[in-house]
Structure 1
């Protein structure tokens, strides 16, 4: 094995470790949101520093590979894809921290479980978890067909995001004293929608690496 191949292998291992860390953050943030578990939310906030440090390490390794080995073709696409995936993972972790901070600051009174169901928060949370897992599997198995599946999943997340606002607005008309909580809830739903967008971005990078297709700003259904 030539040296650059070893470096690329180590880079992939690091990105997958970062992925697992962010996946853990998402699972913990989601669980803390549904159960309003402040202690679990505090764990997410505490672990955010580790995510940030990992992102800087991977970025530095990508820059070293490009600077020292001048990769071309597949190796260059892989390195660029890993750098962008790393950045998207860090942004996902940021949104997880935001969800956790909402739980920590949440009033002791709870929004009715019925509103969680009506707004589709639980469904949205499950979809973005599935998107994270499927995208990681696509990278591990190097199957662009798995990555492409995320585009339709993201469409459903977008739909849930759009539908949630009028549902919360109607609830707010009935319970105006819950205005702050409802506004925060809209913010949380928006964060989950953005996590879906970043999963979508990572799927695009996997397709770019494997198939040399640039899907950004393109109609993915035509690719």
Structure 2
């Protein structure tokens, strides 16, 4: 991931940190898949497993932060190395929040199961496209982070518009659904929180993509237009 240093030990430490981020990302990816499975089948046991995984995700964030602090204190990195370490810290924070969104989906599934006899009538399947988009965004951004691929990072950021449109379309459908059958309002609101959680997963993937550009180009492209972002990576 990083350029070679005179200190092979420093290289080893950077590679180990990067590997830990990928390991955490893999765990969060699995958590999302399980959350979507729980939603698509309204499976309370799978939802419970998603929630139980949260402790492992949180612990990994703490451990990576501890390792980062140790490396920074001992190596006093500068330039790209320091940007990389900062990006790792921010990436793990975003991955932890993605885990929070997976847990939120699982909790909403549990809530729907507890309060509603209308499960079969809820339009949960309408969230399938958005869920697939969000999961794919996270998978691709982790791959881009491992390779520090700025072109892939920009492509991922552009894809977020698709996810936003899916979210807006689902909200419109859900409002119509609730108007047609007011008995479903409570469970439908739970489903709205699920949709928002899926949309937020895409936001966190976009954040990680921005950190890739920061590491490679030294440019902070947060809150920037796509034109400015594309100019920054040229």
Same fold (TM over 0.5): yes
1:28 and 2:34 aligned: yes
| Structure 1, 22-31 or 163-172: larger mean CA deviation | 163-172
The one of 117, 132, 138 equivalent to 2:138 is: 132
Q: 1:60 & 1:13 partners in 2: Cα distance?
A: 15
Question: Displacement, 1:2?
Answer: 2.9
1:146 and 2:152 aligned: yes
Q: Determine the structure 2 residue equivalent to 1:199.
A: 205
Q: Determine the structure 2 residue equivalent to 1:63.
A: 69
Q: Determine the structure 1 residue equivalent to 2:3.
A: none
| Mapped contact 1:111–1:181 kept (Cα < 8 A) | no
Q: Determine the structure 1 residue equivalent to 2:118.
A: 109
Question: Displacement, 1:112?
Answer: 2.8
Number of equivalenced pairs: 220
- Residue 90 of structure 2 aligns to a residue whose secondary structure is helix
Q: What are the Cα deviations for residues 40-93 of structure 1, in whole angstroms up to 9, with x where unaligned? A: 111111111000100000111112222221101111111000000000000000
Q: Determine the structure 2 residue equivalent to 1:46.
A: 52
4+ residue segments displaced more than 4 Å: none
Q: 1:57 & 1:76 partners in 2: Cα distance?
A: 19
- The RMSD of aligned alpha carbons is 1.4
Q: Determine the structure 1 residue equivalent to 2:214.
A: 208
| Mapped contact 1:207–1:213 kept (Cα < 8 A) | yes
Q: Determine the structure 1 residue equivalent to 2:82.
A: 76
Q: 1:97 & 1:157 partners in 2: Cα distance?
A: 20
Unpaired runs of 5+ residues, structure 2, are: 1-6
Aligned CA distance change for structure 1 residues 153 and 111 (closer, same or farther; 3 Å):
farther
Q: 1:191 & 1:221 partners in 2: Cα distance?
A: 28
